[in-house]
C-alpha cells in the first residue's frame, strides 16, 4: 500500500469497489466474472500499491480464474478479507 494513504481509507475504497462491481446494476445474468476483472477494478484505486487475490470462487472451494453466472443467478460478495497495510494507521 502507498505509505501516503490511510489504511482505513484504502480498505474502505477496495470494499466499495468490490461491492459496486457485483451490484445488481453492474452485472448481467450469464455474465463471466474473472479474477482479472476484479484486479483491474481495484488495483488502480488511490493508495493501492499491490493487490493479491488469494482465493476466488463461487462455491467456497478452490481458486478459480473465472466463472460464468447462471442465467438466473445474481452474484453477491461473500467472505471478503481486505488487509490494508503499509500506510498511515488511525491514531
> What string of pLDDT tens digits covers the 91 residues of the chain?
567 888 888 888 988 888 888 888 888 888 888 888 888 888 888 888 877 777 777 776 777 777 888 888 877 776 677 777 777 676 5
- Distances in Å between the alpha carbon of 64 and those of 20, 75, 87? 21, 15, 30
DSSP lists the bridge partners of residue 66 as: 34
pLDDT at 1: 58
**How many separate domains does the chain show?**
1
Domain that holds residue 91: 1-91
pLDDT at 90: 66
pLDDT at 48: 86
Q: What is the pTM of this model?
A: 0.75
pLDDT at 29: 85
Query: Residue 56 in contact with residue 80, Cβ under 8 Å?
Result: no
Amino acid at each position: 500500500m502507498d505509505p501516503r494513504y490511510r489504511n482505513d481509507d484504502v480498505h474502505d475504497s477496495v470494499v466499495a469497489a468490490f461491492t459496486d462491481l457485483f451490484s445488481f446494476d453492474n452485472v448481467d445474468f450469464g455474465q463471466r466474472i474473472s479474477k482479472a476483472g476484479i484486479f483491474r477494478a481495484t488495483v488502480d484505486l488511490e493508495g493501492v500499491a499491490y493487490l493479491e487475490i488469494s482465493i476466488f470462487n463461487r462455491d467456497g472451494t478452490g481458486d478459480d480464474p473465472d466463472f460464468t453466472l447462471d442465467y438466473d443467478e445474481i452474484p453477491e460478495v461473500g467472505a471478503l478479507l481486505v488487509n490494508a497495510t503499509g500506510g498511515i494507521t488511525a491514531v
